[in-house]
């Protein structure tokens, strides 16, 4: 009787380990191909407008800063301070902000 229980337990262990193994195999995530067109290569019309506003309005008084030079957190007060200097309205300032923080 005791052996039967042990044998059953062993069998259960084997079945369980096989089951969990096949579960691991099927749970593997499917391979996701990276998108061909990345945000860096294709700009939405909105971001393209931000880019041109930035390049045309923000280099009058100083060099054009690289968007990467500042984090999104740092750009926020900078754009708030600089947009009026560049005579940009709030919506235009927002587009510039979205452009410089898109990476
Ligand atoms: C009328 C002149 C003028 C225009 C136009 C202008 N800036 Fe500036 N900018 C300045 C001056 C002056 C400084 C340095 C003093 C300061 O930080 O206020 C500066 C500094 C900066 C800095 C460095 C900030 C820092 O904290 O180190 C950034 C970035 C910047 N400007 C971005 C912009 C952007 C973006 C625009 C367009 C929306 C813009 N600027 C338009 C005058 C201008």
User: Tens of pLDDT along 83-97?
Assistant: 999 999 999 999 999
pLDDT score recorded for residue 102: 94
Mean pLDDT is lowest, of 34-38, 51-55, 93-97, for: 34-38
Pick the most confident of 6-20, 26-40, 88-102.
Answer: 88-102
Our answer on whether the CB atom of 61 is closer than 6 Å to any ligand 1 atom is yes
Between 33 and 78, the more confident residue is 78
What tokens were used for 90?
């709030």
- Closest atom of ligand 1 relative to the 100 alpha carbon: 35
pLDDT score recorded for residue 103: 77
Nearest CA to ligand 1 atom 31: 82
Q: Is the pLDDT of residue 52 over 90?
A: yes
Contact 83, 92 (CB under 8 A): yes
Identify which of 52, 58, 47 has the alpha carbon closest to the alpha carbon of residue 86. Answer: 58
């Amino acid at each position: 009787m005791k052996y039967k229980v042990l044998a059953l337990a062993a069998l259960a262990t084997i079945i369980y380990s096989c089951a969990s193994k096949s579960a691991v195999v099927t749970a593997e995530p499917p391979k996701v191909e990276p998108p061909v067109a990345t945000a860096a290569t294709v700009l939405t019309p909105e971001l393209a407008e931000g880019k041109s506003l930035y390049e045309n309005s923000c280099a009058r008084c100083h060099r054009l800063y690289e968007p990467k030079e500042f984090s999104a957190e740092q750009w926020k007060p900078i754009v708030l301070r600089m947009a009026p200097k560049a005579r940009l309205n709030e919506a235009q300032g927002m587009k510039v902000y979205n452009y410089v923080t898109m990476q």
